[in-house]
Amino acid sequence: MLIKIKFFGELKEKIGKRSEVLEIERTSIKKEELIPFLKKTFGLSENEIFNIAINNSLSKKEIKNGDTVSLHPIYRGG
Amino acid sequence: MEVRIIINKNSPSLEEVKNFLREKKAGAIFIFNGAVRSVNDGKEVEKLEYEVDKETVENELKKFLKKYKKNVYKIFIYQAEGILPVGEDTIIIGVSSESRKEAFSACEEILEFMKHKLPVWKKEYYKNGKNHWL
């Protein structure tokens, strides 16, 4: 499946881009599985803490083909 | 209940916020206005940069605001994004309700939700040339 990844804040600066399309050899993936996969893919530390939004929702738990995943650094207060 | 959410670089005037919030049944209009302060944690601040995941913020805010059904009539929310000099508006939350109690508590709840549960980040730029994501 293909998913679009969007980066924000410090993560955008660390990775050096705003977005990327990623191919994963699965038909779906759970949020808790995707996070370590993304850390490995983008060379982030295992200790890096971030949240993800799936199609602009913070409550969705599963990613499918064509979804957009937003990588969010910790929310420290706007 | 009517809701207006604005996320951009141009903060609305107080008049615009009040005009939206006015409602015949409302006995209270409460408006909170956050601003960029000149000193934070002992460091002299030159400007702030706000980054917002707009679509997610709007989506999650709309879901959160559904809880206000009774006695809250209108909610106005402005979240700044981009570069803001000292003194600029960072956030504006306005609530009109039947009486003051609902307006005060709704405004505080929305503010805390926005500060701690939504994808909004700020980078502080100091007068000494350094900067830091908060």
In a domain, A39, yes or no: yes
A54 touches chain B (CB under 8 A): no
Check the CA dihedral B115-B119-B120-B125 and report its sign. positive
**For residues A56 and A70, is the Cβ–Cβ distance under 8 A?**
yes
How many angstroms separate the first and last alpha carbons of chain B? Answer: 34
The CATH number linked to A44 is 3.10.20.30
In a domain, A31, yes or no: yes
Residue B72 parent element (H or E): strand B72-80
Residue B35 CA, chain-centre distance (Å), reads 10
Return the HEC string of B82-110: EEEECCCEEEEEEEEECCHHHHHHHHHHH
Task: State pLDDT tens for residues A11-69.
Answer: 999 999 999 999 999 999 999 999 999 999 999 999 998 999 999 999 999 999 999 99
Enumerate the domain spans of chain B.
Answer: 2-127
Question: How many beta-carbon pairs under 8 angstroms link A with B?
Answer: 62
In chain A, the residue whose alpha carbon lies closest to the alpha carbon of B131 is A10
**Residue that has been written with the tokens 């601040």 in this structure:** B45
| ipTM associated with this complex | 0.93
Best of A12, A19, A56, A60 to mutate (most B CBs within 10 Å, chain B): A56
pLDDT for residue B80? 97
SS3 B16: helix
pLDDT for residue A29? 96
pLDDT for residue B48? 96
List chain B residues with pLDDT less than 70.
Answer: none
**Does residue A78 carry a pLDDT above 60?**
no
CATH no., domain B2-127 = 3.90.1170.40
How many helices (H) does chain B have, and how many strands (E)?
3, 9
Number of domains in chain A: 1
